[in-house]
Amino acid sequence: MVHPQALLDELERAPEIPAFEHGARVTTRGELRELIGRFTAGLRAAGLGPGDGVGLATAVTPEGFAALIAVHVLGARAVAVRPGLPEAQLRHILGDVAAVVADEPWEAGVPVLPVDSLVARFTEPVPQGRLDDIATVVFTSGSTGVPKGVAYRYRALTEGRVWRPPVPGSAHERLGAGFGRYLLFGSLASAVMVEQLGVCLLAGGTAVIPQAPPDFPAVLPRLGITAALTTVPRLHRILDVLRSEDVDLSALRTLIVAGSPVPPHTLAEAAERIGPAMHHAYGQTETGILTVCRADEGLGSVGKPCDTVEISVREGEVWVRTPSAFSGYWRDGAATAEVLRDGWVRTQDLGFLDAEGYLHLSGRARDVVIVNAIIHYCGPIERAIAAHPDVDQAYVVAVPDSLTGEAAHAFVVPAPGRSPDLDEVRKAVAAELGEAAVPARFSFVGAVPVAPSGKPDKAALRASIVD
């Protein structure tokens, strides 16, 4: 059995149960399976088949998800396209796809197939994927200059814990039991959002799509939500409201915060105000969620390994092994060799396992800043700033931020006799790396402290910041 057969079987098992709810519109599991069969036939009629790259640039809709699964039924390669990409990054991502599925026609440089045009006569969806073929490529933020494609084989989706029925008595089953009504929003290009959608559907739940950007926490009781995923910045906003308003969260069973480090005092307050529904998780695009725990357990940790996840700490660095892991970076053997060895993924995070098996994170072996749960590498941002003619040197560090989890703080050494215009610097970074990579804060310095190693001392720069 190859992915997505287990999902198709689940949809057929209970065709009357709602799979999606969007306002007054309800899409049952039977109707979703029908859409998948029709879209599979439509994609095939467009000349697409096993091994072809198919870009997916749809909104969060039942049709968008059905198109994704139809691509997998064909045995093709689904390439997630995030909204708002700079043109250069978009060209890179679409460089080797045969077509793009989108809500509306647009100029992509390759054929664009509007979702509505894919509706064809229903054919039974029979998965054609081969276990060792690439099923999905999810591109990173692109803050390295060129987005890295995280590639998953059909084997990972078939044998991983998400896209199959949960094992009775497992932590996966216990987690899924809270996903009766899962809040689905954002983008289907988000690996973690789609992963949790899989948990929901395979557990018999319904994905509820808000009609507007969700207003946390009010959206939760208004839509009867039992499970949702949140980022650290959004959690801060939820707590801001709960400090002054009574919001009925009694239906909530699972609220998972993930994507960037969570201060212990924030987790403690969330556990107190939200209760046992509050969970903390740790994972990466390359691995999926690795650990999860209630906010009131494993004090200071990110939880214990999920089912099928093994964790090894080697010289202080966290390595993991899981059937759900990626197979490598798309067409980038050098980058793959840095993090993937003998089936183990080097997370490039530092940490340790305590006596009870909880994982504690203590830092990073990579120079990154995580803004709104998106990883941005500091080096390319520094180079983009330093390329400005009025800048001599630039160094970027990650600092805590209550709105975005972390923020990039740039230290700029002006060129002799020059005075850089920060608006111009910001525009230069945005043009090269995208608006999201622009540092939130800048400081001008005459020189940069040097560590004993002879390298710029970023710890000293970070310590020099005065709130």
pLDDT in tens, 144-184: 557 889 999 999 999 999 999 998 988 889 889 999 999 99
Residues 363 and 374: their CA atoms lie apart, in Å, by: 17
> Within this chain, do residues 238 and 90 fall inside the same structural domain, yes or no?
no
Choice between 166 and 7, residue whose per-residue pLDDT is larger: 7
What is the pLDDT of the chain when averaged over all its residues? 92
Instruction: Find, among 376, 379, 352, 347, the residue nearest to 364 by Cα.
Output: 347
* CATH number of the domain to which 390 belongs: 3.30.300.30
Domains contained in the chain, number: 3
Burial class of residue 433 (count of CB atoms within 10 Å of its CB; 0-12, 13-18, 19+): buried
What pTM did the predictor assign? 0.84
- Predicted confidence at residue 247, as pLDDT, reads 97
Any domain includes 205: no
> Within this chain, do residues 347 and 378 fall inside the same structural domain, yes or no?
no
> Within this chain, do residues 219 and 327 fall inside the same structural domain, yes or no?
yes
Binning pLDDT at 50, 70 and 90, where does residue 418 land? Answer: very high
Number of H helices, E strands in the chain: 14, 26
- Predicted confidence at residue 132, as pLDDT, reads 98
pLDDT of 408 over the 80 cut: yes
Any domain includes 204: no
Q: For the chain, give the percent of residues with pLDDT over 90.
A: 73
Any domain includes 452: yes
- Provide the strand spans (E) within 332-381: 340-341, 344-353, 359-364, 368-371, 374-377
Please give the backbone phi and psi of residue 16, each rounded to the nearest 5 degrees, phi first.
-85, -15
Joined together, the tokens standing for residue 365 give: 């072996």
> Within this chain, do residues 372 and 321 fall inside the same structural domain, yes or no?
no
> Within this chain, do residues 51 and 104 fall inside the same structural domain, yes or no?
yes
> Within this chain, do residues 130 and 66 fall inside the same structural domain, yes or no?
yes
- Predicted confidence at residue 333, as pLDDT, reads 95
The stretches of 215-311 forming alpha helices (DSSP H) are 219-222, 232-242, 264-274
- The angle at the Cα of 352, spanning 347 to 353, to the nearest 5 degrees, equals 110
- Predicted confidence at residue 141, as pLDDT, reads 63
Any domain includes 202: no
> Within this chain, do residues 340 and 386 fall inside the same structural domain, yes or no?
no
For residues 33 and 127, the answer to whether their CB atoms sit within 8 Å is no
Q: Which tens digit of pLDDT belongs to each residue from 191-243? A: 999 999 999 999 999 999 999 999 999 999 999 999 999 987 789 889 989 99
- Among 170-174, 326-330, 335-339, name the one with the lowest average pLDDT: 170-174
**Residue 261 structural domain:** 214-364
Residues 347 and 339: their CA atoms lie apart, in Å, by: 7
> Within this chain, do residues 160 and 222 fall inside the same structural domain, yes or no?
no
Mean pLDDT of 374-383: 86
Mean pLDDT of 421-427: 96
Instruction: Find, among 13, 110, 20, the residue nearest to 65 by Cα.
Output: 20
Q: Which tens digit of pLDDT belongs to each residue from 426-462? A: 999 999 888 989 999 999 999 888 776 556 788 889 9
Mean pLDDT of 401-422: 91
Q: For residue 312, give the H/E element and its range.
A: strand 310-314
* CATH number of the domain to which 85 belongs: 3.40.50.12780
Any domain includes 207: no
> Within this chain, do residues 31 and 166 fall inside the same structural domain, yes or no?
yes
How is 201-227 classified by DSSP, letter by letter? HHTT-EEEE-SSS--TTTHHHHTT-SE
Any domain includes 113: yes
Any domain includes 200: no
> Within this chain, do residues 163 and 259 fall inside the same structural domain, yes or no?
no
pLDDT of 376 over the 60 cut: yes
pLDDT of 97 over the 60 cut: yes
Listed as own residue / partner, the contacts of 396-399 with beta carbons closer than 8 Å and 24 or more positions apart are 396/369, 396/439, 397/369, 397/458, 397/461, 397/462, 398/368, 398/369, 398/370, 398/462, 399/441, 399/462, 399/465
> Within this chain, do residues 309 and 437 fall inside the same structural domain, yes or no?
no
For residues 375 and 404, the answer to whether their CB atoms sit within 8 Å is no
Q: For the chain, give the percent of residues with pLDDT over 70.
A: 97
Mean pLDDT of 239-255: 96
Burial class of residue 111 (count of CB atoms within 10 Å of its CB; 0-12, 13-18, 19+): middle
Whether omega for the bond prior to residue 414 falls within 30 degrees of 0, making it cis, is no
- Predicted confidence at residue 467, as pLDDT, reads 61
List, in sequence order, every residue forming a beta bridge with 56; answer none if it has no partner.
Answer: 80, 101
pLDDT of 117 over the 70 cut: yes
> Within this chain, do residues 152 and 168 fall inside the same structural domain, yes or no?
yes
Any domain includes 197: no
pLDDT of 275 over the 60 cut: yes
Q: Which tens digit of pLDDT belongs to each residue from 27-51? A: 999 999 999 999 999 999 999 999 9
Domain end: 332, 349, 364, which one? Answer: 364
